[in-house]
Amino acid sequence: MSSSVEHLIAMANDIANFFRSEPDHLLAVEGVVNHLQKFWDPRMRRKIVAHLNQHGGEGLSELARAAVVKLAAS
């Protein structure tokens, strides 16, 4: 795994940690997805989705993984 992917994983997990306090899991996932869409460069989004597809999202928290799955489907 490249250091740039590791950095994206860490960033996605940090974002997910912020939204983890949301009691509604679907709203938390949507919050992470919205953040990734608004603030991440398209290349960053493609790279994290590729990591999900190639490595099952290894290293992503459950919430971050759920958000990247939803991001990949959009």
**Per-domain residue ranges for the chain?**
3-73
| 44 residue type, one letter | M
Q: Could you count the other beta carbons within 10 Å of the beta carbon of residue 37?
A: 12
Residue 2: band (very low, low, confident or very high) from pLDDT cuts 50, 70, 90: confident
User: Does pLDDT of 1 surpass 90?
Assistant: no
Contacts of 29 (CB under 8 A, 6+ apart): 19, 63, 66, 67, 70
What are the structure tokens assigned to 57, written together?
Answer: 């999202």
Which own/partner pairs from 37-45 qualify as long-range (CB within 8 Å, at least 24 positions apart)? 37/71, 37/74, 44/8, 45/71
What predicted TM-score, i.e. pTM, was given to this entire model? Answer: 0.94
Predicted confidence (pLDDT) at residue 66 exceeds the cutoff of 90: yes
